């Protein structure tokens, strides 16, 4: 397990180890209140040994910072963006408007309502500006999709994705066998 729960945390809850020098994935979120919903995805990236960076940039509260980060991110080592937001969830779409990199959107369940506003805000993009949308709070699938995108051109990452798939299958088969006893 590559996740060290005893590592010191910064005040925003992000481990200093998350701030890799050459990140391949950027996890951006509209608020630090989204971070707890993204922990599973961050753990997947650590398990798959994919360096990542986390940023809080709001499409509404910090539009100029968001534009700066989004428009410059393709000039860094980052190859794929995971963008999370809830409610009027415009962050993933705005990132896709600024960057040619693939953007995966994670709708976050808001404090009011069931979250369909988050889902549809991210899913219903105009033609020409794609965002790959996962289900509500599903940072696990966002991280795995990012890993598969990177793995298409990186055999090491691809092998680790294959191992993850094999481990998942083994875990389900074991549960099946337990139920048959």
Which residues here bind ligand RP5, judged by CB under 6 A? 29-31, 33-34, 58, 85-87, 108
The DSSP 8-state label assigned to residue 16 in this structure reads: G
Q: Which is nearer to ligand RP5, 131 or 161 (CB)?
A: 131
* Other beta carbons less than 10 A from residue 126's beta carbon: 8
- Nearest approach, Cβ of 118 to ligand RP5 (angstroms)? 7
Q: Which is nearer to ligand RP5, 27 or 108 (CB)?
A: 108
- Nearest approach, Cβ of 109 to ligand RP5 (angstroms)? 8
Query: In this chain, which residue has its C-beta nearest to ligand RP5?
Result: 30
Q: How far apart are CA 109 and CA 56, in angstroms?
A: 17
- Nearest approach, Cβ of 150 to ligand RP5 (angstroms)? 24
Residues contacting 133, CB < 8 A, separation 6+: 92, 104, 105, 107, 119, 122, 123
The DSSP 8-state label assigned to residue 15 in this structure reads: B
């Amino acid at each position: 397990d590559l996740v060290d729960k005893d590592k010191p945390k910064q005040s925003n809850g992000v481990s200093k180890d998350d701030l890799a020098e050459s990140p391949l994935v950027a996890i951006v979120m509209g608020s630090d209140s989204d971070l707890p919903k993204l922990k599973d995805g961050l753990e997947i990236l650590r398990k798959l040994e994919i360096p990542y960076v986390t940023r809080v940039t709001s499409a509404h509260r910090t539009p100029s910072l968001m534009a700066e980060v989004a428009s410059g991110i393709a000039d860094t080592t980052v190859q794929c963006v995971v963008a999370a937001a809830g409610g009027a969830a415009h962050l993933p779409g705005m990132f896709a408007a600024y960057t040619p990199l693939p953007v995966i959107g994670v709708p976050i369940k808001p404090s009011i309502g069931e979250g369909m506003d988050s889902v549809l805000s991210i899913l219903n993009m105009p033609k020409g500006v794609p965002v790959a949308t996962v289900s509500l709070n599903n940072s696990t699938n966002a991280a795995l999709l990012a890993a598969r995108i990177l793995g298409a051109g990186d055999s090491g990452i691809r092998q680790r994705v294959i191992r993850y798939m094999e481990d998942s299958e083994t875990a389900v088969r074991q549960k099946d066998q337990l139920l048959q006893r």
